[in-house]
A and B are shown apart, each in its own frame.
Chain A
Amino acid sequence: MKLGTVIGRVTLAKTVKALEGGRFLIVSPFSREQFAAGLDAPTSMGTDPSLVVYDNIGGGVKQIIGYVEGREAAQPFEQPTPVDAINTALVDEMFYNPWKG
């Protein structure tokens, strides 16, 4: 999974059946520099474009989440579902110590 900061939410008026009741978060992926700066790093440090992540564990704006991208994101659903990013963890703490060798 990757880490990212929740920077917003999306509400869908009409969705495919499988995604009904889900929440969608706009997430800014963590850059390497952001890992080093810690969980309070400003989102402006993120260089990758933001993405929309399906959420069923209750992530909120400004939180750091771990999300999985790819085919595996659809795995928790009963039926084939058009989802390619899912929130899998709300990060409480991060211990990061970059290699300087």
Chain B
Amino acid sequence: MLLARVEGNIVATRKHPSLDGWRLVICQPISADGQAEGAPQVAIDSHGAGMHQQVVISSDGAAARKAVGDEKSPVRWLVIGVVDEHEPGVRV
């Protein structure tokens, strides 16, 4: 799982059928102090994460396949939650 910040989304008409209807958000992995680390990942999102919100993304393919309901889906990254606060009391 990675801490990331939502920095955009993509639109693709031609895609694997299991991704139909899913939001594809661009997630920039970040360090604990909010600095970008590495290249952005595109994850599926069912939580409606907003622009520049911090999220946690998971690379668990099995869970992502279950989410899209297709055992033959190549999907891997999904947004598993939207971050409220980092440590008690520090809201983001």
Contacts and interface: CB of A to CB of B under 8 A. Distances in A.
A61 interface: no
Interface string B11-46: 111111001000010101000001010111110000
Contact of B39 (A30, A92, A95, A98): A30
Interface residues of B, number: 35
A66 B9 contact: no
Contacts, number: 113
Interface in A83-101: 86, 88-99, 101
Contact of B7 (A76, A89, A92, A98): A98
A9 interface: no
Contacts of B8: 35, 94-97
**Most central of B10, B11, B19, B72 by chain A CB within 10 Å:** B10
B15 A57 contact: yes
Given A86-B74, A88-B75, A75 B65 contact: yes
**Most central of A31, A66, A68, A88 by chain B CB within 10 Å:** A88
Interface of A: 1-3, 29-32, 35, 48, 57-58, 66, 68-73, 75-76, 86, 88-99, 101
5 contacts: A35-B26, A66-B24, A72-B61, A92-B11, A99-B34
Interface of B: 5, 7-16, 19, 24, 26, 28, 34, 36, 38-42, 51-52, 59, 61, 64-65, 71-77
